[in-house]
Amino acid sequence: MSKTIKQIIIILVLSVIIGFIVNVVNPKGIPLVMDMKRYSTEQSDKLKEDFINNPYDTSKKDASLMQNPRLNKEGFVDPQNIKLDFAKLLYDRKALFFDGRKPEEFATGHIKSAINISYVEFHKKSKEEKEEMFKGYNKNGIIVCYCDGGCEVSIDLAYDIAKLGFTSMNIYQGGYQEWEKAGYPVEK
């Protein structure tokens, strides 16, 4: 075996061992497998079906999309990942759409009537400031967060808002790119 390959193997083995040990000790350590729930859109069709069978006017301020919102271990209701078709249905029912991108990106084009809540700015705010910001909103109302598509800010924004006690957070990961491609209403 050549000297270089031996050295590469030694460095790799050392990195794997130290990496795993530090991850176990590190309070910010992560599980070996990523939380699929955060990205999975498997539930989208079922959610859409439930929504169609149980018509709900998103403009009403006193009802929740979910019949029994279930709190997770951390004490908030997990946001749901939804696909384009369900996002459009919620849009038609006047659900609130939050765009998590930066204002300059929002200005280049966004889903019609969406509200820009730049996650870069939002995540810097204290919990009190965030609560103050969402004071006027119905905590049970349907909210859909999106960003450009294939980005994380929509997910992070939805989770942050859910942690404030909002029970019907949805993440539309297809984002602005997919929405615009589908020919659905946009504003520029």
CB 66 within 8 A of CB 167: yes
Please, what is the minimum distance in Å from the beta carbon of residue 34 to other proteins? 5
Q: At 128, is the secondary structure helix, strand, or coil? A: helix
Rule CB under 8 A: say whether 151 interacts with other proteins.
Answer: yes
Determine contact, residues 132/162, Cβ cutoff 8 Å.
no
Residue 103 touches other proteins, criterion: CB under 8 A? no
Between 49 and 152, name the residue whose CB sits nearer to other proteins. Answer: 152
User: Is 32 an interacting residue with respect to other proteins (CB under 8 A)?
Assistant: yes
Q: Does 98 bind other proteins (CB under 8 A)?
A: no
Question: 104: closest CA among 65, 57, 148, 55?
Answer: 148
Burial class for 50, CB neighbours closer than 10 Å (0-12, 13-18, 19+): middle
Q: Is 6 in the site for other proteins (CB under 8 A)?
A: yes
Nearest distance from C-beta of residue 176 to other proteins, angstroms: 9
Any contact of residue 15 with other proteins (CB under 8 A)?
yes
By CB under 8 A, which span of 12-20, 58-66, 135-143, 163-171 interacts with other proteins? 12-20
Asked if residue 93 lies in contact with residue 58, where contact means CB atoms within 8 angstroms, the answer is: yes
Question: Does residue 147 interact with other proteins by CB under 8 A?
Answer: yes
The one among 119, 146, 166, 172 contacting other proteins by CB under 8 A: 119
Q: Is 101 in the site for other proteins (CB under 8 A)?
A: yes
Element (H, E) at 101: none
Report the DSSP beta bridge partners of residue 171: 81, 145
Widest CA span of the chain, in angstroms? 71
Residue 186 contacts other proteins per CB under 8 A: no
Angle separating helix axes 44-53 and 84-92, nearest 10 degrees: 30
Q: Which residues bind other proteins (CB under 8 A)?
A: 3-8, 10-12, 14-16, 18-20, 22-23, 26, 28-34, 36, 39, 101-102, 105, 119-120, 123, 147-153, 156, 177
